[in-house]
Amino acid sequence: MSSPDGSQVLRREFSLWSAFAFAFAFISPIVALYAIFGLALAAAGPSFWWGFALVFAGQLLVALVFAMLVSRWPLEGSIYQWSRRLLGTSYGWFAGWTYMWTLVIAMATVALGAAGFVANIAGVETPSGGLRAVIALVILIGGTAINLVGRGALKAFMTASIVAEVIGSIGLGTWLLLFHRQNSLSVLFDGGGPDIDMWAYLSGPFLIAVAFIGFSFVGFESAGAIAEEVHEPRRDLPKAVLFSLAFIALVVAYSSLAIILAIPDLDAVVSGSVADPVYETLTAALGHGIAKPVEVLFVIGFLASFLALQTSASRVIWAYARDGALPASAALARLRGKARIPVVAILVTTVIGGALFLLSIVAGDIYSLMVNFTSGGFYLAFLFPLIGFVVVVLRRGWTDGAFSLGRATVPVAVVAAVWAVLQMLNISWPRAVYEQRYLDWSVWIAVAVLFVVGLAILLTVRHRIVSAAVIDDIEAADEHADITVAGR
């Protein structure tokens, strides 16, 4: 990145809209809804819906802290960069290491999820694990090709996916509410039933639903993962972080409400006898002819999410490599072509994704392990900058960037950190859910493995990691040059 001719400087080709679209696509409303709806409904009944408000409130506090961080340090790699500057290089290294692997595993998980819909569209109702892995590999290769073409292709696909998802989610939701409502609003207050008291419900089934819902409201931080590719990031990225979270919450909560009120047999769904309540409800209301268009819509959402995840993962890898914080950093940090794309970093995500698909075939229920770690991994990664920010603020060492909360900074930061700790524990708590007990401990198993491997790598590269001040100076000069060019 530091070469005099600027060949190792990322091109700033993203606007505020692009950053918002990127964060929106990262945790697509369709992906978020489809991933958690049936699980949360089976866990806590229709009143799980109130969990959206709770999780949104907690994540809004997190987003406010992240908006402050990105306005001060608009650097590629987001969580890695912020954590490093808050509490030091080793602390930041583990923050980014956790975030990087969470992104890569989430990317592979989303591709496998999309593969099931692609198979259904092709007429295969129950695809084998091998077929899903092959389809996911095709999606991986196709997504990699789009990412290698350049930011223009990425922006076009993100914009198209937002249009499709908003029309699909809000349009279908409105149609269901107007013409296919089967249940009254009172079902939203029907939780554990007459045999369970309110405290037992809130501390048991509702907490499990909140753990599932936690997956719906991550990804807003990804706007910061592409910070050095955005025009005027200090001004625009805080807006992208906050707007994307709020819009996602609105769309997911609205769509969920519409589906809950349109379910023909709510008791059957809550009992778990309906495997896919979203699809079954849409089919019952709109007929079997809607099946293929809805599945195409789901595929678009999953593909957009996959692209955003792969892009974020590759940028975190690139940011590490630029700092000399990974083996083979020189190759990983190299930018290629007029678009200056981190090609090798993107290809690394492709190789890892392909390996995970192969593992999903030969190693039993690796998919469930991947799903479990992804949700817990995001909250664990969030904890690094949140705790670091609280420490720095309480030490009176924080200097505001372009976005500030003023006197509300301390209470917001503390409550956000407490929320993230509680949600991380809630998600990773080893409840007896699976027949294979190791899956109940999957988050902690993955964290332990990552820590051991990460520590070994950090010890080999720690001595050659570039000073954060050097990177800050380069980014500031590049941002100033971008503003100067834009002002001409």
Residue 5: its pLDDT value, please? 40
User: Between the ranges 6-10, 151-155, 254-258, 276-280, where is the mean pLDDT highest?
Assistant: 254-258
Question: How confident is the model at residue 144, as a pLDDT?
Answer: 93
Check residues 482 and 181 and name the one with the higher pLDDT: 181
Q: Would you put residue 45 in left (φ > 0), alpha (ψ -120 to 50) or beta?
A: left
Higher pLDDT, 486 or 128: 128
What DSSP character marks residue 341? B
Percentage of the chain with pLDDT > 90? 45
Q: Which pLDDT score, from 0 to 100, does residue 6 have?
A: 45
145-162: pLDDT as tens digits? 998 988 888 888 888 888
The alpha helices in 150-232, defined as continuous H runs, are 151-179, 198-203, 205-213, 222-225
What's the mean per-residue pLDDT of the chain?
86
Task: Choose the weakest-confidence range: 172-181, 246-255, 309-318, 469-478.
Answer: 469-478
Structural domains present in the chain: 16-487 (1.20.1740.10)
- The rounded Cα 152 to chain-centroid distance in angstroms is 22
Report whether pLDDT(370) > 90. no
pLDDT recorded at residue 195 = 61
Mean pLDDT in residue range 123-149: 88
What's the pLDDT band for 471 if we cut at 50, 70, 90?
Answer: confident
Nearest to 281 by CA among 52, 48, 37: 37
Is the separation of the CB atoms in 378 and 447 below 8 Å?
Answer: no
The counts of H helices and E strands in the chain are: 21, 0
pLDDT value at 375 more than 70: yes
Query: Looking at residue 422, what is its pLDDT?
Result: 94
Tens digit of each residue's pLDDT (9 = 90 or more) over 336-352: 878 788 999 999 999 99
Q: C-alpha distances in angstroms, 249 versus 49, 419, 430?
A: 12, 17, 27
Position 240 pLDDT exceeds 90: yes
pLDDT at residue 291 in the model: 66
- Would you say 349 and 486 are in contact if contact means Cβ atoms under 8 Å apart? no
The pLDDT assigned to 3 comes to 43
* DSSP, res 14: B
Grouping H, G, I as helix, E, B as strand and the rest as coil, residue 218 is coil
pLDDT of 194 above 60: no
Instruction: Output the pLDDT for position 365.
Output: 64
- Residue 98 contacts residue 247 (beta carbons within 8 Å): no
What tens digit of pLDDT does each residue of 60-75 get? 999 999 999 999 999 9
Q: What is the pLDDT of residue 485?
A: 58
* pLDDT tens for each residue of 31-68: 878 778 888 888 888 999 999 999 999 999 999 999 99
C-alpha to C-alpha distance for 378 and 424, rounded to whole angstroms: 9
> What is the reported pLDDT for 43?
83
Please tell me the total number of residues recorded for the chain in this structure.
Answer: 488
- Report residue 273: phi and psi, to 5°: -75, -15
The values of phi and psi at residue 61, to 5°, are -65, -45
pLDDT (average), residues 442-452: 90
Would you state the structure tokens that stand for residue 166, as one six-digit string?
A: 């908003």
Looking at residue 2, what is its pLDDT?
Answer: 42
- Structural contact between residues 346 and 310, judged by C-beta atoms closer than 8 angstroms: yes
Coil, helix or strand for 449? helix
pTM of the predicted model, to two decimals? 0.91
Q: Write down the pLDDT at residue 1.
A: 40
